[in-house]
Amino acid sequence: MALRSTIRQPDPVAGAKILGLGSSQPDRIVTNDELAQRVETNDEWIRSRVGIAERRFASAEDSVVSMGADAGSKALADAGLSPTDLDAVVVATCTMPTPIPNAAAQMADRIGVNGIGAMDVNAACAGFCYGTGIAADMIRSGTARHVLVVGSEKLSDWLDMDDRSVCIIFADGAGAAVLGPAETPEDVGVGPVAWGAAGDLVSTIGIDEKNYLRQEGQAVFRWATTKIAPIAMEALDKAGLTPADVDVLVPHQANLRIVEAIAKKLRQHGAREDLVVADDIVHSGNTSSASIPMAIDHMRGAGRVRSGDVALIVGFGAGLSYGGQVVVLP
Ligand code: UT7
């Protein structure tokens, strides 16, 4: 018979909050005109149908790991923490060159810490919200005090540059957030995650036999413009908030028309007229799991959002996967 009848658990805290943010983009700017030299497209079509003016493509030296480590280091500095203050790294990515080794262990090492929990989460463009949900629960339960959540993607490795329906959309970059404990309920800055998956629609986005990303654009567009606003509303409801409480809306930057459709639905449900809506896709393209933290970091840098603002984040993409939550900006 066992000598112990109970198994000790870590001491829980009230919840989690974001302590710092950072982002990283490769240097090379790719304009719509540059892409129009390769495929049959034009600046006007891309701006009006997708909302992108330019995007960044990584060099051969840039990787999911290097861009993520750069964003993560900046987020740590923003939080006023050292690498050794971290207990875990959670990396949302779907563009590692191989399934193993994962990105998180290498990223932690590059940032300057070993011996901490390190895992990748693949929920495609919903990955940052999944990672944030996992990290917040790790902190709330007492498993970890400080967790770095990174969204990092090198989508250019997976693009058929002769397929105009995808090569004009996707791009490279990373965004990161450091989460830490909130000791009191008033201090909690990450709401419960509202998430799910639609595996019945798996065939709409994927990687083909030539390792190229393909998507049924119209089908995903219809799905995103009908199903994602209700998920955002569910995340608000789970946090005990209403659309009027939201200062900043940050949907995954897949297409500016999808972003605007989600914002319109939120306004129909009482969001304020002064709601700030992320439009980072204009200059960053669609960077999958990186798009949400990168958009927030860029909006902070531009002075469009403030510390203490209530942000509603919601990601969606291949899987199909979706998820979102309320976060208070650091
Ligand atoms: O991040 C993961 C989640 N992904 C998404 O949320 C993506 C959702 N889908 C979309 O954002 C849009 O469907 C796209 C941006 C992918 C495409 O926009 P669309 O307005 O749905 O265009 P479409 O696919 O219906 O194509 C309309 C026309 C077609 O020509 P025809 O058949 O009408 O002659 C396309 O061949 O536009 C053509 N087209 C282009 N024309 C110029 C497709 N790509 C291009 C292009 N330049 N790059």
Residues 53 and 145 occupy one common structural domain = yes
Question: For each of the chain's 330 residues, which pLDDT tens digit applies?
Answer: 666 678 999 999 999 999 999 999 999 999 999 999 999 999 999 999 999 999 999 999 999 999 999 999 999 999 999 999 999 999 999 999 999 999 999 999 999 999 999 999 999 999 999 999 999 999 999 999 999 999 999 999 999 999 999 999 999 999 999 999 998 999 999 999 999 999 999 999 999 999 999 999 999 999 999 999 999 999 999 999 999 999 999 999 999 999 999 999 999 999 999 999 999 999 999 999 999 999 999 999 999 999 999 999 999 999 999 999 999 999
Rounded to the nearest whole angstrom, what is the distance from the C-alpha of residue 186 to the centroid of ligand 1?
A: 45
pLDDT for the residue numbered 5: 79
Instruction: List, chain by chain if needed, residues with CB within 6 Å of any ligand 1 atom.
Output: 41, 45, 49-50, 125, 164-165, 168-169, 215, 217-218, 220-221, 224, 254-255, 258, 286, 317
Residues 114 and 129 occupy one common structural domain = yes
Closest residue by Cα to atom 25, ligand 1, is 218
Residues 152 and 218 occupy one common structural domain = no
| Crossing angle for the helix pair 127-140 and 291-301, to the nearest 10 degrees | 80
Tell me the residue ranges of DSSP E strands in 13-166: 15-24, 28-31, 54-57, 88-92, 117-121, 147-154
Residues 98 and 227 occupy one common structural domain = no
**Residue 21: inside a domain:** yes
Domain that holds residue 233: 189-328
Residues 179 and 197 occupy one common structural domain = no
Q: Say if CB 189 and CB 182 are below 8 A apart.
A: yes
> What residues act catalytically?
125, 252, 286
Residues 124 and 37 occupy one common structural domain = yes
Last residue of a domain, one of 131, 155, 186: 186
CA dist list (Å): 92 to 3, 22, 256: 41, 15, 22
Residues 99 and 215 occupy one common structural domain = no
Atom of ligand 1 nearest to the CA of 224: 6
Residues 203 and 178 occupy one common structural domain = no
**Residue 35: inside a domain:** yes
Atom of ligand 1 nearest to the CA of 286: 1
Residues 196 and 140 occupy one common structural domain = no
**Residue 255: inside a domain:** yes
Q: How many domains does the chain have?
A: 2
CA atoms of 35 and 37, how far apart (whole Å): 5
Residues 157 and 198 occupy one common structural domain = no
Residues 145 and 294 occupy one common structural domain = no
- What CATH number does the domain containing 158 carry? 3.40.47.10
